[in-house]
Amino acid sequence: MLLLIILAITNGIINTEELPPSCSKPVYCNSKLLHYVQLARIYPDSKTFVDLQLRNDENTTLKAFDELLDQTNQNPTKDQIQAFVDQYFEPGNELEVWKPNDYSDNPAFLAKVRDNTLRQFASDINAIWPTLGRKVKPIVFEKPDKYSFIPISNGFIIPGGRFSEIYYWDAYWIIEGLLICGMENTARGMIENLIQLLKKLGHVPNGSRWYYEQRSQPPLLTAMVSLYVQQTKDLAFLEANIEALEDEMEYWLESQAITFVKCGKSHTLLRYYAPSQGPRPESYYEDYTIAQQFENKERQEEYYVDIKGAAESGWDFSTRWFIGSLGQNTGNLSTIHTSEIVPVDLNAIFANALQNIAYFHGLLRNTRKGAHWAYLAKQWRITIDAVLWDEADGIWYDYNLENGKHRKYFYPSNVAPLWMNAVERHVLKKHAPRVVKYLQGSQGLNFPGGIPTSLIKSGEQWDFPNAWPPLVSIVVNALRAINSHESQQMAFHVAQTWVRACLKGFTENKQMFEKYDVEQPGKIGGGGEYTVQTGFGWSNGVVLEMIKMYGRRLTATEPLDATGKNVVTVSEIKESFESVAEN
């Protein structure tokens, strides 16, 4: 069935007249009320309004606002709009603080961390989990229409700051951190929440808010399940949810796959594609303002689709999605063309997801189904190599559908096929030395505060000089997958640099941040549409991953010999290789 779906897909052209609304809740997605409130800039952050809860039902609220428009000749003042919002809305109060019942002050992995300072750092990060624990209040289940929050049954860990809901790809590194800390029940609950959303909407949304209904995020759900099952051997959980995981695969194949021709041969891969009407509700003012520079409504709607596609990628926003007049990654948000780019990381993640489904069926002894999914995974890996590998540079690159060329820029996502085991074994052996050479010459590994998201200083938050924890994790695990002496040393160096930078920031601020500055270790990152958030779910998970991975070798500061030179012993190198086998 899935193979037939793949073969049936052709290039899609956005038909703006047939786009669905952003979600099925007009107050929060497509209404005059949303438009007027957001353009009045009652709140500096557009997300604030769509996170409010209704005092009355939706129809009553929309009718009352129409009456206000009639009374003011369609031109209410800012004060009148503010008064309306105060009368018909109140601050969202969907969640209560929740302490996971499997939390421990002293998780077992800490005993294997040799450096006292790093052991304390890891312990301090572990202690953050209860502060980020939340659970949906019963009232949201009783009166769901009054909230933009989509109710989910289990307690969960929020990212932090303004992000008070569960987010899709954030959850992968949060769950990894939870499992490291022995919080298996909490991790399972997080996964179950995502599966509930999948069953409710037909896909896992960007986050657990209705205004995210029409877009997803990198499909890491099967990877989360794999982490959980490998640690717990919980085959009953797997058997209960395998069909839902297959449903997600079909969703991506039916909605985000695109077929195109390269070198005379037809190929099918995924792109980020989130077609729906209008601006992102949570960034309505920002999107609407930029769209006004376009002369016609069709171009505006194309812009909205591409800006949502970039948000779906998790990289919101980056020059990675800009296509200037010459096909380069130049311009600004007005030159965003996400739907014209075939991304390396998305396809690597999807190939891994297909293989995970095959692996799960193997565990459940569904041999025929497992073989089917394994075949699809293999075909996806072969296509990734055929389309995205650049032989001249020795690396995978995103592919521009408009001009049929690789986008030859440094992004950590370039090595995602290694991270996701989306490379055939014989291909890995062939490509590995080239990838190491590419990274060594890229300048991307040369900064004291981590790996930059790009080497371009655009002012966007997913560009230089910002380093994002997930991307550091991707590079470290990609280098470890190569498993040569040189790549292992590089992986350790990246992990050591990152942990020390985060330690410095934590020591100075007593907080973990969502992103950091690569030029100044521990400094908060900048750019983007909102202030830097603290907490922070995936930042905690990645540091714990690095400390667990290299706990016997990592140090908070460089050990020095009698002459003041850094010491790296043979035993430490040996321990690094042992940790690869151990993990």
Please name which of 159, 105, 117, 185 lies closest in space to residue 547, comparing C-alpha atoms: 117
Structure tokens at 57: 């039902």
Question: Residue 145: helix, strand or coil by DSSP?
Answer: helix
pLDDT tens-place string over residues 143-190: 999 999 999 999 999 999 889 999 999 999 999 999 999 999 999 999
What average pLDDT does this structure show over 353-373?
98
What average pLDDT does this structure show over 83-89?
98
pLDDT on residue 578: 53
Q: What are phi and psi of 261, to 5 degrees?
A: -110, 130
Q: What are phi and psi of 135, to 5 degrees?
A: -140, 145
Structure tokens at 138: 């019963």
What average pLDDT does this structure show over 449-460?
98
Count Cα neighbours of 554 within 13 Å in the Cβ-side half-sphere. 32
Please name which of 74, 183, 172 lies closest in space to residue 125, comparing C-alpha atoms: 183
Cβ neighbours for 570, distance < 8 A, ≥ 6 positions apart: none
> Are the C-beta atoms of residues 4 and 254 closer than 8 Å to each other?
no
pLDDT on residue 560: 47
Task: Report whether pLDDT(575) > 90.
Answer: no
Of the pLDDT bands very low, low, confident and very high (cuts 50, 70, 90), residue 519 is very high
Q: Which range is least confidently modeled, 7-16, 114-123, 227-236, 294-303?
A: 7-16
* Longest CA–CA separation in the chain, Å: 83
What percentage of residues in the chain have a pLDDT greater than 70? Answer: 93
The one-letter amino acid at 304: Y
What percentage of residues in the chain have a pLDDT greater than 90? Answer: 91
Task: Report whether pLDDT(573) > 90.
Answer: no
Distance CA 128, CA 107 (A): 13
Cβ neighbours for 329, distance < 8 A, ≥ 6 positions apart: 319, 320, 322, 323, 407, 409, 456
Task: Report whether pLDDT(580) > 60.
Answer: no
Region of 5 please: left (phi>0), alpha (psi -120 to 50) or beta.
Answer: alpha
Sign of the CA dihedral with 10 first, then 11, 15, and 20 last = positive
pLDDT tens-place string over residues 105-114: 999 999 999 9
Task: Report whether pLDDT(559) > 80.
Answer: no
pLDDT tens-place string over residues 59-74: 999 999 999 999 999 9
Of the pLDDT bands very low, low, confident and very high (cuts 50, 70, 90), residue 396 is very high
Of the pLDDT bands very low, low, confident and very high (cuts 50, 70, 90), residue 17 is low
Displacement of CA 511 from its chain's centroid (Å): 21
Task: Report whether pLDDT(12) > 60.
Answer: no
Q: What are phi and psi of 425, to 5 degrees?
A: -60, -45
Task: Report whether pLDDT(569) > 70.
Answer: no
Q: How far is CA 134 from CA 100, 107, 160, 172, 564, in A?
A: 9, 21, 11, 17, 48
65 exposed, middle or buried (CB, 10 Å; 0-12, 13-18, 19+)? buried
pTM exceeding the 0.85 threshold for the entire prediction: yes
What average pLDDT does this structure show over 479-502?
98
Task: Report whether pLDDT(576) > 70.
Answer: no
Distance CA 373, CA 371 (A): 6
pLDDT on residue 14: 55
pLDDT tens-place string over residues 265-286: 999 999 999 999 999 999 999 9
Task: Report whether pLDDT(4) > 80.
Answer: no
Distance CA 402, CA 49 (A): 37
Active site residues: 316, 514
Please name which of 17, 12, 13, 37 lies closest in space to residue 297, comparing C-alpha atoms: 17
Q: What are phi and psi of 407, to 5 degrees?
A: -95, 95
Of the pLDDT bands very low, low, confident and very high (cuts 50, 70, 90), residue 448 is very high
Of the pLDDT bands very low, low, confident and very high (cuts 50, 70, 90), residue 8 is very low
pLDDT on residue 532: 82
Of the pLDDT bands very low, low, confident and very high (cuts 50, 70, 90), residue 528 is confident
Count Cα neighbours of 440 within 13 Å in the Cβ-side half-sphere. 11
Rounded to the nearest integer, the mean pLDDT of the chain is 93
Structure tokens at 460: 């966007």
Give the relative orientation of helices 170-180 and 469-482 as an angle to the nearest 10 degrees: 70
pLDDT on residue 316: 97
Distance CA 167, CA 474 (A): 19
Distance CA 319, CA 226 (A): 32
